A and B are shown apart, each in its own frame.
Chain A
Amino acid sequence: MNSGNLNPDKNNFDENNPGINSYIKNNIQNKDSFAYRTGKVSPVLKENYDFLRDAFDADKNFDIVFRMFKVNLDSEFVDAFLIFYDGLSNKEYVNRDLLAPLMSGRLKIKSPCETLEDSIHQCIISQAPNSRISQLKNIIELVGFGNCAVFVDGCSCAFVADIKGWGSRSVGTPLTEAVLSGPQEAFCETVMTNIALVRKILKDPNLIAENIPVGTVSKTPCALMYINGITNKKLVETARNRLKSIETEYIFSSADIEMFIEESTVFPLPQLLKSERPDRVAAQLSDGKVAILVQGSPFVLILPASAGDLAEASEDNYVRIAEANFMRFVRLIGCFLALFLPGIFISIALYHHESIPTDLLFAIEASREQMPFPIALELIVMLLSFELIKEASIRVPDPIGSTLGIVGGLILGQSAVSANIASPLLIIIVSLSALGAFAAPSASVSRALSVLQFWFILFGTLAGFLGLAFAIFTLAIYLASGTSFGVPYLSDIANPFFVIPIWRREKRPRNLNPQSVRKQPHISRKWKGDV
């Protein structure tokens, strides 16, 4: 790539990174400056000032602030400027913690060994965390992330203070994983807050949060969290490698990361778990899994995921065992209905009339006598209508939401039956199936079930229960052959059926092959011997 007069050996900019190169190449006017040639902070303040004004396109960007000031150095004044984004940095901290100490005259060089840079650094650090950075590329990235950079004439480094002050949502309540009996905290869009939420639950010094920026331009901070000594090292390495090998300009959310690192995009079910609950993430980490937190997304990715994980809901851990097992049973029934009920119904209605009780059969026949549509078409139309209602209800404004519900449910549904467009039985089937999908513990699973049911409907229409057997077999084989970060997808298929008491969860899941298998002794209730 043409880099002008730059010496490639001394060029610290990434030649292959078009993002960096584009604004350097297009914006920088003075290509002979030290800053441009070396990519480092120049001791000449003006060079830095001009470089950065060009780099940030300050004439066009009205939210970038270049503030010139003079550092009061023991009755001597040195030119300086600071740079930050209005809206990303906290201006109060800028004034109080950066400008005030530097301009107040408290800055003194205490000994001949101490340089100007050391003095400034010591002066600022008592007020705000800061680091000395000489690479302009890094300074530009950090300022873009909400930090404030201070440049002083004569210093060959800049002082980047972490005084982020952007507006963000505070810790709220979970929207998609609501529970009645458990904690009500949810992740927010700030990755550091999210890490803190997990760390305050686990309180384990071995809990590692590695920062892996993803996105060549956006440099979105992603935290790879795992517990050293528990999590399988190969799993961590795989996750790290996959994150680091993502080559894209911008990453906007955890969904993008998910699509980049999952094994197969066309796999019918999610291969990574998504959670917005810190307690759930903490529990999964303690079992030996890895979590990926992405700046700007309240959904944390947990890997690896297997079929058994998809059946777990957070509520299971906060209620008594009998209730938890009953709820899980109901949930599994719901998933079964969502997936199979329409397919079973269409198979029986088209091919296996002998399976229908006689009374019901004649009732169905009487109701269908005046229906103009074949039953398969009617079923598909009803299912698609329900999907339309689901989609519309997400976007409909609150004030008219309830009214729309009444219109859709009562008037349209009732009218459809009265006009002999839809049969009542079919409406019941579609409703049960939809309710079953909503009973799934995770929104991704719910959506996946809604899509997968059409696979069974297709083959049920083609060949009845033989077609259903074919559909079930092919799907099961595909799931069985899938893996999530090396762990077979169906490796813990027996788990979803029972919730066991916490005092019996002695070992970590075997399929994760953790470093430490046992998490509690066989007798974990020491008081038991006293009774």
Chain B
Amino acid sequence: MKIFSIFLAFVLSFSLCGCYDSKEIDETAYIIALGIDKAGSSGFNYTFQFSAPLATTNHEGGGGEKEGDSKENPTVRNVVINAPDFYTAKNLTNNFLSKTVDMSHLKLIVFSASVDQNGFSQHSQFMLREREVRPHTAVALSTATAEEFLKSINPELEANTAKYYELMSLRSNNVYSPTKQLSDFVDEISSESGVSCLPTASPGGVAQPSAIQSSANGWISIGDTNIKSQKARMQGMAVFKKGQPAAVLDGNFAMIYNILNRDIKSCIITLKNPRLKDSFLSFRLNIPHPAEYSLDNTKKPCHIKISQGFDIEFFGNNLPSGFSSYDELFSFADRSITQQISEYFYELSRGCRADIMKIGDSFKKSFLTSEKFLTSSWESMFTSAEFDVDICFI
């Protein structure tokens, strides 16, 4: 037993020549955001945003609100590298940095609209398979270039930019843009239809909707996408079809998307008072469950019924002018919301032609095997469907 223990200790001593994966924390540089832009005919511009910990711990937060002041975010360092693929770019970062690059705290991946279908698919799959990257990493689409968006990020209330990204991508926080995680995005664009959606991210300064409209793909701009702001923001959503962006929807439609998916548990909607000029009515909607979809494909075209319940609350001490009772007020709210949701579905069906609400999943239930579902041509059914929206206030 003694000899055996000594032998084991001898064998184990070989592990002392190891520590191959040992890394000191202060010898590592952590990427907190990644931007991917198309560069010319081949290759990409990769923007690696590194956290500067010394600046993070000394920084008190606040990016300054002076007009026209383009103060850079001191807590991050942006390195832009042109390379044919991601791993080449990652290796090239060591030409600039002395520390080992680590992606285990990557919070946000931003694509620009110039990236093609292959680029989206390839990069997102690489990221998902990458050991260090989490499947919950947020993904967004920049309305300008990803580099511009990342460089314009300068959080006011957080000292740590990574925390800013994390909190921004929390589902319950942002009403006017969806949240999309890397795993869901990869799953959706890898599917047969390649239908997905991403939040749109706009850098500070004047927005450039023409950058989207002038795309060779011939996008349709729906709603008010002309975002004017000095601050970088996430508002609106980009709809993907066949793995590439097909349309941009504004914040209102993004809110409806969030409501129907119950990605937000409550929100406040403001409707114009039809009975009084320059007057607005605010309601709080608490969403108890996601919307339910039922399909009647016996009719041609098929009918899709959308049922959603709300717990509604009116903000106001008194009954607003022009309304004789609260029943009248709430039925007005009912009609307005129903109309907005119907418009939303018609735009998805006839405009974008993309089932981002995944109504097809409930349709899938009626088939026994995947093969039968795939041959049922759900896409053509959706793009010609009639929608019945049924709202009830609890």
Residues of A within 8 A of B (CB): 349-351, 353-354, 358-359, 361-369, 371, 374-375, 461-464, 467
Contacts and interface: CB of A to CB of B under 8 A. Distances in A.
Contacts of A364: 25
B162 A358 contact: yes
23 contacts: A351-B21, A351-B22, A353-B102, A353-B104, A353-B105, A358-B105, A358-B107, A358-B160, A358-B163, A358-B166, A362-B30, A362-B51, A362-B56, A362-B57, A362-B160, A363-B57, A365-B25, A365-B28, A369-B53, A462-B19, A463-B18, A463-B19, A464-B22
A421 B56 CA distance: 22
Given A353-B23, A362-B57, A374-B24, A462 B15 contact: yes
B16 A462 contact: yes
A361 B105 contact: yes
Contacts of B23: 350-351, 353
A324 to B, nearest CB: 40
B57 A361 contact: no
Nearest to A374: B24
A365 B26 contact: yes
Contacts, number: 76
A331 B244 CA distance: 58
Nearest to A347: B22
B166 A368 contact: no
Secondary structure of the B contact surface, majority rule: mixed
Interface residues of B, number: 29
Interface in B16-45: 16, 18-19, 21-26, 28, 30, 32
Given A361-B30, A361-B105, A462-B19, A375 B56 contact: no
Q: Could you say which of A354, A365, A368, A369 has the most chain B C-beta atoms within 10 Å of its C-beta?
A: A365
Q: Give the one of A351, A361, A364, A375 with max B CB within 10 A.
A: A361
Contacts of A363: 53, 57
B54 interface: yes
A354 B25 CA distance: 11
B164 to A, nearest CB: 11
A362 B31 CA distance: 12
A348 to B, nearest CB: 10
Contacts of B57: 362-363, 366-367
A359 B53 contact: no
A353 B25 contact: yes
The 7 closest A-B pairs by CB, nearest first: A354-B104, A366-B57, A365-B53, A366-B53, A368-B26, A362-B53, A350-B22
B132 interface: yes
Contacts of A369: 26, 53-54
Contact of B25 (A361, A462, A464, A467): A361
Nearest to A350: B22
Nearest to B102: A353
A4 B149 CA distance: 107
B106 to A, nearest CB: 10
A366 B160 CA distance: 12
Contacts of B26: 365, 368-369, 371
